[in-house]
Amino acid sequence: MHPPKALSTTGQNDIEVVKLVRSCIELRVTSIERTVVDVLNQPKLSGGVDEMLRSLDRVETLDGEIVVAYTMLLQKPALAAVVGWWLDRHRLKLGVSKDVLRPLCYALPINPAYMLGAKPGDSVMMTPWQLLVPKRIGQLEWARS
């Protein structure tokens, strides 16, 4: 997979990439923080929206500040919305404070963004994130509350 264009153009391809050696072979692996943002950015590359959300529900620990910083580097308002929504819904489990989320609030799209397969007429607004998600995901959110 190629790194996001925002990283390539600024020479930051290796941000949040760790080098590991396994069986005498050097591997480049993204950190959990970068992986979370990358799969939220392109769910189809991680098995689709449902598989991605199920997998992300299993994340037990990460550094919220790194997630936010990496998201901001990509300069995509719709991505800021979906990352903010995901971090916010897992905030207590991950120990992420509302202050950590603040930069994402300033990067949100002006108009609500359809994400995670949302379509007009079959979506629900996730406030305050300027994010429209499919109703089935929104219903899961309501059930969690």
Over the stretch 13-27, which tens digit does the pLDDT of each residue have?
Answer: 677 788 889 999 999
- What does the alpha-carbon distance between residue 62 and residue 67 come to, in Å, rounded to a whole number? 8
Sign, Cα dihedral of 111, 116, 119, 123: negative
Average pLDDT over residues 51-55: 93
- The residue ranges of DSSP E strands in the chain, in sequence order, are 17-22, 25-30, 113-114, 123-126, 131-134
20: tokens are 């590991």
Q: What is the pLDDT of residue 141?
A: 60
pLDDT band at 45 (very low <50, low <70, confident <90, very high): confident
What does the pLDDT read at residue 140? 66
User: Cα(116)–Cα(145) distance, rounded to whole angstroms?
Assistant: 20
pLDDT at 109 over 70: yes
Give mean pLDDT, residues 40-54: 92
- Rounded CA gap, 46 and 18, in Å? 20
Going by pLDDT thresholds of 50, 70 and 90, the confidence category of residue 143 is very low
Q: Is residue 67's pLDDT more than 90?
A: yes
Contact between 96 and 72 (Cβ < 8 Å): no
- Residue 85's nearest CA partner among 7, 138, 33 is 138
Between 7-11, 115-119, 122-126, the lowest mean confidence (pLDDT) is in 7-11
| Confidence band of 12 (pLDDT split at 50, 70, 90) | confident
Mean pLDDT computed over 26-48: 92
Cα–Cα distance between 128 and 40 in angstroms, integer? 18
HEC sequence for 98-135: HHHHHHHHHCCCCCCEECCCCECCEEEEECCCCEEEEH
State the amino acid at position 65 in one-letter form. Answer: E
